[in-house]
Chain A
Amino acid sequence: MNNLVYLIPFFPLLGFLINGLFRKSLNKPLIGIIGSGSILASFVVSLLLFFQVKSNGALPVQPLFSFIDVESFKIAFAFQVDQLSSLFLLIITGIGFLIHLYSTSYMHDEPAEHFGRYFAYLNLFVFSMLLLVLGANYVIMFIGWEGVGLCSYLLIGFWFKNNNYNYAAKKAFVMNRIGDLGFLLAVFWILAKLGTVEYYEVFAQTAKLSNADIFGITILLFIGATGKSAQIPLYTWLPDAMAGPTPVSALIHAATMVTAGIYMIARSNILYTMAPVTQVIIAVIGLATAVFAATIALKQNDIKKVLAYSTVSQLGYMFLGLGVGAYTGAVFHVMTHAFFKALLFLGAGSVIHAMGGEQDIRKMGGLAKKMPQTNWTFLVACFAIAGVPPLSGFFSKDEILAAAFEKNSLLYYIGVAGALMTAFYMFRLYAMTFLGQFRGTHEQEHHLHESPAAMTIPLIVLAILAAVGGLIGIPEAILPNAHKLEAFLEPVFEQSTRYVHEAHTVSHSTELMLMGVVTVIIIGVIVAAWRKFSKYQYSDAEETGLGKVLENKWYVDEIYDAVIVNPLLKLAGFLKNVVEKSGIDGIVNGVGRFVGYSARQLRLLQSGQVGNYILFMVLSLVVLFLVFWNETIISEFLKKIF
């Protein structure tokens, strides 16, 4: 059973190779079957492994081959399946399969060749993501980390004929690379101090690291995470990444890749537990991102942009959870978020599909009647993300907020404010899309239809998961010993738990009371948003004041352009036009000219006259003698003569 591990990434890799190499000769149904089937096969194996881990605990590390072997420096290409990675395996392959299935219908209008390319990229993405979570050391994780970054780039720019999309892809790539540098430096740091990058060995030797080492390593790893998981200051790529096909947004930019940073920190939890300063930084940045992105989401009119900022905001909550030491809560939120945010994106995709590519919610409205399944599944997801009990988002978000409350009640209050905004913008989105009067063109109205089964089935499955997925993590305050996830993940975070050994300071009654109050306020916000936006009338009047600032995303992109991008471009221009042209080229061409000149001169030695040649040879011989005509030889010579 253990040796099945390698099959999990193998199937998507095979799917990638087949679809990628034969995309011109395969037909669309076959491409779809290969693409989705490979993920389904991985899902089945992941499920088997999950149950094995559940009953027997973590599997031993599975070395496949020696990856780097230079003298004492050895890195094995090894896989590690424990509670944390088996949970992520299920999320990746399970939701991955649903999204592949959905894509077979959503991407149906693409020509076969591009259809094949799409599935090849998607399979390659799943392969990389699986490597990321399966790797037994930081280097394998980094391979997956770079792999998902590449696939994200390729898929954002999937419609490469649109230059704006290419620009968005480039932006995502560059932003990620900034983070990757942090990750790499952290790995080097670990390697320099401990001589190994294997998780087991690193975590067993944490005592050898000084506080400064741990702080440096954790901060650098966190910088890597801010890139991949779109946190302040590196979050701006994620909203632009919506240029890619909508299922890609669902899979990569909501459910899986963007949670890689959370996985990485949860995996290294002991290091973070030992670095309280880093934890505070993470909590503050996470919370700031959560609230900041939520404010932007309030005023966005593009259905995918709203969801994108919502994703950034929810990721912020996850980092808040990591920062306050609620590792289980963060992972829990990764899981529930994967359910409801994938559902939201797929629902949005269904809407965009029906609207013939329209993404502006001001031009929608009243879709509930035309698209019943999309409507009710979307509604479930909205309730889940808003945190209405007993849907999944309630439990995971509550767990994070409760942990924040224990640390510092200020974190809690700001977090709750963000949660209220979440409820508001989600129901604004819902009401403007599905309720009220249809505001699009007649042609669009005529065209409106419910999506085919390949698209609605994933919606329904995800809706069920988003509704009941939270029940595996019912807090102690409501039902004792019902937090199955915590029990399951306990071995992963055991080291951290032992390190902290803090008792709960908040009583169950306080916790219950806070829950109740927040829930009531959230429902109030939902009702208000519902009533306000179901009567929305289209107007293209410009926003003013704060509204305008929010609609323009606090002008962060513009600030980055002015402060970082443009000065860099100016410097590059200077290097290209001045240093390169007159400096480097001058030197290189100068050397070339010099050699050419010497060649022309030296050539003249070859006169063709034998007499000259022999003269040169004799002269050279004499010179050689003179060079070595030192005192000893002279004295010898004189002795011989006289």
Chain B
Amino acid sequence: MNAIILSAVLGVVMMFSSVFVKNKSALKHIAAAGLLVLLIANIADTYGCSLFKIDLHNMLRFDKFGLFFNTIGIGATLIYVVLSGRDIEKSGNYVAEYFALIFFVLCGLTLLTSFGNLLMLFIGIEILSIPLYILTGSDKRNLKSNEAAIKYFLMGSFSTGIMLMGIALIYGGTGSFQLEVVRSVFASYKGVSFLEIAGLLFLLVAMAFKVSAAPFHFWTPDVYDGAPSVFTSFMATVVKAAAFVAFIRLFDARVTETSAAVDWKMLFSILIISTLLIGNITAVFQQSVKRMLAYSSIAQAGFMLFALFSLNDMAKEGLLLYAAAYSLATIGIFAILIKMKDVSFEGYNGLAKTQPLLAATNTIFLLSLAGIPLTAGFFAKYYMLASVIKTGSYTWLVIFAVLFAAVSAYYYFRVIQAMYFKNGEAQTDTITPGFKAGMVIVAAIIVIVGILPQTILNWFYF
């Protein structure tokens, strides 16, 4: 509860700060401080110290899993603002509003990690998405940015329509928006209701759109590529992970196991296969690192979908780990990408000579995304695949995923190859020592999690 209210309040505060604070560069410090407050409030909430006591009538339900995810999401945003705050400033004239929108996105995120009612899910998704439409178009004079914003908005609206349709069908079948009621109806049903199955299928498609699972991913490359890089970073990490948490909350085990008429595992495996296939294969041919990362985010979504496939405790743990590992690494890669003058693969040629530290940390991030041992990404992938193996069937799916993880090594290593083995003079903006220190810390977290994943997870579950 703390995080929902505080993030909304802080968003409003940020908006007004543009009036009172004339010094633009102070804004990012205010935002960072606000995020820190938010982070602490949310951790306090996790330990049972809630500032607000409101009867919610089960519209929202707070559980450990959601609150932990809030911590990860807010923490990742904090790191993101610290690393890329300067670049957010540079992306347009309305700096305070950008930060305010980020806080509103976080508000949507906290709703999505705690909804207990389908309407709350819908509101959360909208609160999450609308600020992103604006952020995507924040570079007003750039045609690509505008195009991306309008495409995102159009397709986002379309998926919202599908989602509302799904919610309406489920309401028609069960007579309630409450998740608990819907579940109990599903659990008690002897036969299968067409309305509920169809509703759930619509909801699935809408959520698949949000997490950019193929074949509902088409918006992703265009939007990620067109949006200012600094906001792409945010969209591809925190926002995507939030959508995944909402997805897994919705498709809790009881819904899918009881509706026997539809083989949900088969359905998810189709989604996973097409996502891994399209994400990984298309990424191979990209010439721009930014666009490659867009496809890579689709490919990574394919892996995160495994959590929905297996829906056991290990999957939930793994999703937390995956969200953290993927977000950190991607934020780091984007932070460097934003500093690059040229974001094509050639632009990275020889970075190891001009900026050895950035190249080294970038290598760690890329290795983590590729799932190389001793990085957080390895254990994230390990947990996902192990959760599938625990379900006892569909081993072929795991083999398929591992093969595509191997394909992904190709395009991640292309960047490493460019940085270390190609001749060139990679041009970057000025790099401050503070930025370097930040990169080293993020890289260190990734390596530490990669060496001691159990310690981190145990710490999460105290």
Contacts and interface: CB of A to CB of B under 8 A. Distances in A.
A603 B282 contact: yes
Contact of A606 (B192, B202, B282): B282
A615 to B, nearest CB: 10
A65 B143 CA distance: 67
Interface string B139-161: 00000000000010011001100
B162 to A, nearest CB: 7
Contacts of B194: 633, 636-637, 640
B285 interface: yes
Given A602-B278, A624-B201, A632-B192, A613 B284 contact: no
A610 B281 contact: no
A595 B266 CA distance: 25
Contacts of B263: 628
Contacts of B205: 617, 620-621, 624
Nearest to A640: B194
B262 interface: yes
B284 A617 contact: no
Could you say which of B154, B278, B283, B284 has the most chain A C-beta atoms within 10 Å of its C-beta? B284
Contacts of B221: 606
Given A606-B282, A616-B215, A632-B261, A627 B158 contact: no
A616 B215 CA distance: 8
Contact of A633 (B192, B209, B267, B407): B192
Contact of A620 (B191, B216, B261): B216
Interface in B244-274: 261-263, 266-267, 270
Could you say which of B158, B215, B277, B283 has the most chain A C-beta atoms within 10 Å of its C-beta? B215
B261 A627 contact: no
Contacts of B261: 628, 630, 632-633
B197 interface: yes
Contacts of B195: 640
Contacts of B192: 632-633, 636
A416 to B, nearest CB: 63
A596 B151 contact: no
A1 interface: no
A620 B202 CA distance: 12
A613 B285 contact: no
What DSSP secondary structure best describes chain A's contact surface? helix
Given A595-B281, A602-B281, A614-B158, A620 B407 contact: no
A608 interface: yes
B265 to A, nearest CB: 12
Contacts of A616: 215, 218
Contact of B222 (A606, A617, A621, A627): A606
Interface residues of B, number: 38
A621 B162 contact: yes
B193 interface: yes
A448 B215 CA distance: 89
A625 B202 CA distance: 10
Interface in A586-642: 595-596, 598-600, 602-603, 605-606, 608, 610, 612-614, 616-617, 620-621, 624-625, 627-628, 630, 632-633, 636-637, 640
What DSSP secondary structure best describes chain B's contact surface? helix
A355 B74 CA distance: 80
B435 interface: no
Nearest to B261: A632
A640 B195 CA distance: 10
Nearest to B278: A602
Interface string B182-220: 000000000111110110011001000100000110110
Contacts of B158: 614, 617
Contacts of B197: 628, 633
Contact of B282 (A599, A624, A633): A599
Contacts of A636: 191-194
Contacts of A600: 285
Contacts of B202: 621
Contact of B281 (A598, A608, A614): A598
Interface residues of A, number: 28
A595 B278 CA distance: 11
Contacts of B201: 621, 624-625, 628
A599 B154 contact: no
Interface in A356-396: none
Interface in A558-603: 595-596, 598-600, 602-603
Contacts of A621: 162, 201-202, 205
Nearest to B221: A606
Contacts of A608: 222
B120 to A, nearest CB: 24
Contacts of B281: 595, 598-599, 602
A620 B201 CA distance: 12
B320 to A, nearest CB: 28
Contact of B407 (A595, A612, A617): A595
Interface string B209-237: 10000011011011000000000000000
B272 to A, nearest CB: 14
A606 B197 CA distance: 30
A183 to B, nearest CB: 31
A640 B263 CA distance: 22
Interface string B273-317: 000011001111100000000000000000000000000000000
A620 B271 CA distance: 10
Nearest to A631: B261
Contacts of B278: 602, 605
A633 B215 CA distance: 24
A600 to B, nearest CB: 6
A632 to B, nearest CB: 5
Could you say which of B205, B209, B263 has the most chain A C-beta atoms within 10 Å of its C-beta? B205
Interface string B45-72: 0000000000000000000000000000
Given A624-B205, A636-B192, A599 B267 contact: no
Contacts of B262: 628, 633
A627 B154 CA distance: 28
A617 B285 contact: no
A598 B198 CA distance: 33
Contacts of A602: 277-278, 281-282
Interface in B324-354: none
Interface in A51-92: none
Contacts of A610: 151, 154-155
Interface in A488-539: none
Contacts of B285: 596, 599-600, 603
A471 B237 CA distance: 82
A596 B216 contact: no
8 contacts: A599-B281, A600-B285, A621-B162, A621-B201, A624-B201, A627-B270, A628-B262, A636-B194
Given A596-B284, A620-B205, 8 more contacts: A605-B282, A612-B218, A617-B158, A624-B201, A627-B267, A628-B197, A636-B191, A636-B193
Interface of B: 151, 154-155, 158-159, 162, 191-195, 197-198, 201-202, 205, 209, 215-216, 218-219, 221-222, 261-263, 266-267, 270, 277-278, 281-285, 407, 410
Interface of A: 595-596, 598-600, 602-603, 605-606, 608, 610, 612-614, 616-617, 620-621, 624-625, 627-628, 630, 632-633, 636-637, 640
